[in-house]
């Protein structure tokens, strides 16, 4: 519930930021212009992102005979979550990771790397897949699409505002040009930070929902601990920055910049929350 509330609050702040910069620059039409352009771009991503991301990672449909155990686990979790069974894909890499995609439970897909299937015990894998199924039931693809639309609109309006401030101001504007320029520079950065905060909040929520779905948070906690250790010892670069937020574990090589702009909460914090959950 707390993570849901955080998402609502962050979305409210993001919307308020859009209204402020749009209103300051172009009034109502400034807001509509940015929102319309961002919505058009993200509408394409919303309807086709699953196909795009699966193609990026060369994901192949999981054969029902060879991967029967995987189909059985996901079918059982989908039944418990009261959603249709998602399509299942295998990503050909030894990197240990997984993600869910799709705009709704009826159009969902779950992808696992070959590496994670080798690394996890059956119970740990159930924990990972319960997390991914929870992203589907929590409509996180829809939520993050809305967030991306609003954040994108802010960036577009701010980009236009920067030009207006730099080339359209005059000596008699009482400093409004400077204020507009400062707002236009800061707004996209603030929007990005809020977008990252919402992404982290959705990860916490998927952890909690997945644990409740299984009636046990320790299996997922154990899986996350393994993923963290495996990433430190056997890091294999294979993910793009634009899709990193989809994965259960951050697939990018840790560095100073990535630590500042994390799409995932600290792994130790996630593990601690899961191990302290009371599911009795």
pLDDT tens readout for residues 128-151: 999 999 999 998 877 877 777 677
pLDDT tens digits for range 253-270:
766 555 566 778 999 999
| Direct distance between the N- and C-terminal alpha carbons of the chain, in angstroms, rounded to an integer | 18
Using the predicted structure, report yes or no on whether residue 161 has a pLDDT greater than 50: yes
Q: Is 42 among the domain residues?
A: yes
pLDDT tens digits for range 55-66:
989 999 999 999
pLDDT number for residue 172: 47
pLDDT tens digits for range 39-54:
676 676 667 777 888 9
Concerning whether 228 is annotated as a catalytic residue, the answer is no
CB 206 within 8 A of CB 138: yes
241 — pLDDT class (breaks 50, 70, 90): confident
Q: Is 214 among the domain residues?
A: yes
Q: Is 82 among the domain residues?
A: no
Residue of 64, 132, 203, 280 marked active site? 132
Q: Is 223 among the domain residues?
A: yes
Q: Which whole number is the average pLDDT over 175-196?
A: 73
Q: Which whole number is the average pLDDT over 204-222?
A: 94
pLDDT number for residue 164: 61
Using the predicted structure, report yes or no on whether residue 115 has a pLDDT greater than 70: yes
Q: Which whole number is the average pLDDT over 119-136?
A: 96
CB 172 within 8 A of CB 178: no
Q: Is 70 among the domain residues?
A: no
Q: Is 53 among the domain residues?
A: no
pLDDT number for residue 48: 73
pLDDT number for residue 163: 66
DSSP assignment of 13-25 equals HHHHHHHHHHHHH
Residue 5 tokens, joined? 């509330």
Rounded distance, CA 116 to CA 87, Å? 18
The string over 170-182, giving b where at least 16 C-beta atoms fall within 10 Å of a residue's C-beta and e elsewhere, is eeeeeeebeebbe
Residue 249 tokens, joined? 């574990």
Rounded distance, CA 172 to CA 57, Å? 55
157 — pLDDT class (breaks 50, 70, 90): low
162 — pLDDT class (breaks 50, 70, 90): low
Q: Which whole number is the average pLDDT over 76-103?
A: 95
| Percent of the chain residues topping a pLDDT of 90 | 42
Q: Which whole number is the average pLDDT over 224-245?
A: 85
What residue numbers bound the domain in which 173 lies? Answer: 2-47+123-129+138-275
Using the predicted structure, report yes or no on whether residue 2 has a pLDDT greater than 60: no
Q: Is 237 among the domain residues?
A: yes
Q: Which whole number is the average pLDDT over 172-199?
A: 72
Q: Is 99 among the domain residues?
A: no
pLDDT number for residue 103: 81
Domain count, the chain: 1
């Amino acid at each position: 519930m707390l993570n849901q509330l955080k998402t609502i609050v962050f979305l409210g702040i993001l919307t308020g930021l859009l209204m402020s910069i749009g209103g300051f620059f172009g009034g109502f039409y400034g807001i509509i212009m940015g929102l319309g352009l961002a919505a058009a771009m993200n509408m394409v991503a919303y309807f086709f992102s699953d196909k795009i991301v699966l193609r990026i990672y060369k994901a192949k449909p999981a054969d029902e005979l060879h991967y029967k155990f995987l189909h059985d686990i996901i079918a059982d979790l989908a039944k418990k979550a009261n959603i249709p069974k998602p399509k299942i894909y295998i990503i050909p890499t030894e990197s240990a990771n997984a993600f869910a995609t799709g705009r709704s439970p009826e159009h969902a897909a779950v992808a696992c790397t070959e590496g994670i299937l080798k690394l996890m015990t059956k119970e740990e894998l159930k924990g990972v897949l319960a997390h991914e199924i929870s992203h589907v039931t929590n409509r996180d693809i829809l939520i993050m699409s809305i967030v991306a639309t609003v954040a994108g609109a802010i960036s577009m309006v701010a980009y236009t505002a920067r030009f207006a401030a730099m080339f359209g101001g005059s000596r008699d504007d009482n400093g409004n040009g400077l204020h507009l320029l400062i707002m236009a520079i800061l707004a996209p950065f603030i929007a990005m930070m809020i977008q990252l905060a919402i992404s982290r909040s959705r990860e916490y929520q998927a952890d909690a929902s997945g644990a409740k779905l299984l009636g046990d948070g320790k299996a997922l906690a154990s899986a996350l601990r393994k993923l963290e250790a495996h990433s430190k010892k056997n890091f294999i670069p294979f993910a793009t920055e634009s899709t990193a937020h989809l994965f259960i574990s951050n697939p990018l090589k840790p560095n100073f910049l990535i630590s500042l702009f994390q799409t995932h909460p600290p792994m130790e914090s996630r593990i601690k929350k899961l191990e302290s959950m009371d599911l009795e």
